[in-house]
Chain A
């Protein structure tokens, strides 16, 4: 099925550094979601975006819904060791795909103390 292009695939950073990752698509999405998954657990919703151009923060996390509705980015400021995990973007297209999420391939984040 369709997938979102998420980059980078992996990141190795030092504690305290800022992180940026993004998702792009050739199709328009009505909702963009960002999830984090720790080993042995399910994905946890970090941020939900509903309008083109929307910029939303959740603590040290900031995400934006691209103005073209075909992309989104997630920034993490001042990273800490517990930020380690896999980050997934996901989107809803609506219409006949009612209820279906399209996922990116994930960004594996490693933070060195």
Chain B
């Protein structure tokens, strides 16, 4: 079992819907990450939070809005998504946003109708 928990596991939404993805870790990690992954491709970094502050935004469209309410939680708010946004969205955490390994959750499979 992964120590990074993501909900929901699956999400189907229309292009006009608003939904949120949630990620939780209780390992005391101070860095958390959002990735987007297409089938059989490597994860692509979207956002990095370090000590609850956004430290990296990889030029992600504004229809994706991250939020870090506290050191254990990470949200990704979705609005007006496009069909090409359908993918596996992975959350990861690491002790700090440095060279320490990142540990991934099992992801949310997102389908945009």
- Which chain B residues lie closer than 8 Å to A30 at the CB level? 99
Q: How far is the CB of A87 from chain B (nearest CB, A)?
A: 11
Q: Please state if B97 and A103 are interface contacts (CB–CB under 8 Å).
A: no
Q: How far is the CB of B6 from chain A (nearest CB, A)?
A: 8
Q: Please state if B42 and A105 are interface contacts (CB–CB under 8 Å).
A: yes
Q: How far is the CB of A45 from chain B (nearest CB, A)?
A: 5
A113 at the interface (CB under 8 A from B): no
| Measured CA separation A87–B103 after assembly (Å) | 15
Q: Please state if A98 and B98 are interface contacts (CB–CB under 8 Å).
A: yes
User: In the complex where A33-B101, A48-B101, A86-B40 touch, is A99 in contact with B106 (Cβ < 8 A)?
Assistant: no
Q: Please state if B31 and A99 are interface contacts (CB–CB under 8 Å).
A: yes
Q: Please state if B42 and A99 are interface contacts (CB–CB under 8 Å).
A: no
8 Å CB contacts to B: which residues of A27-73?
A: 30-31, 33, 35, 40-45, 48, 50
B55 at the interface (CB under 8 A from A): yes
Q: How far is the CB of A50 from chain B (nearest CB, A)?
A: 7
User: In the complex where A42-B106, A45-B101 touch, is A101 in contact with B40 (Cβ < 8 A)?
Assistant: no
Interface size on B, residues (CB 8 A): 28
A8 at the interface (CB under 8 A from B): no
Q: Please state if A99 and B55 are interface contacts (CB–CB under 8 Å).
A: yes
Q: How far is the CB of A24 from chain B (nearest CB, A)?
A: 15
Q: How far is the CB of B95 from chain A (nearest CB, A)?
A: 11
B-to-A contact residues, CB < 8 Å = 2, 4, 6, 31, 33, 40-43, 45, 48, 50, 55-56, 90, 92, 94, 97-99, 101-107, 109
Question: Could you list some 16 contacts between A and B, CB below 8 A?
Answer: A3-B42, A30-B99, A40-B106, A40-B109, A41-B106, A41-B107, A42-B92, A42-B104, A42-B106, A43-B90, A45-B102, A48-B101, A88-B42, A94-B98, A94-B99, A108-B40
Besides A98-B55, A100-B45, 20 new A-B residue pairs in contact (Cβ under 8 A), listed by A number: A3-B42, A30-B99, A31-B101, A41-B2, A41-B106, A42-B90, A42-B105, A42-B107, A45-B101, A86-B40, A99-B31, A99-B50, A99-B56, A100-B48, A101-B45, A101-B102, A103-B42, A104-B42, A105-B42, A106-B42
